[in-house]
Amino acid sequence: MKTLSPKSSAAADLRATGTVAATIVHGTAATIVHGTEATIVHGMEATIVHGTAATIVHGMEATIVHGTAATIVHGTAAAMVVLEEADRSIYYRQ
């Protein structure tokens, strides 16, 4: 997966075409699948599946599944499942 600057024209083009607009900054072994407007910052072993407007900040081995407007901050080996809205979230921490 390419690493794109949030301000790069390539990232803007992806957003404009409705393609996955994923940005990874200082990420290692990060994967985004079917994600829209997803950002990983300083994330390691992070996976977002079917995530919309999802952000992981300083997360390690973090997983978001079917998340909408989901955020994990300083999470280690954390899994979050978000139902319907960000304020109606269920957090599972290992």
81-92 pLDDT, tens digit each: 544 444 444 444
Q: What is the pTM of this model?
A: 0.43
42-55 pLDDT, tens digit each: 767 777 777 777 77
Give the CB-side neighbour count of residue 63, counting CA atoms within 13 A.
8
Which pLDDT does position 75 carry in this prediction? 66
Q: Which domains does the chain have, with CATH numbers?
A: 9-93 (2.160.10)
5-45 pLDDT, tens digit each: 455 555 455 445 555 667 777 666 677 776 677 777 776 77
> Cα 39–51–61 angle (5° rounding)?
65
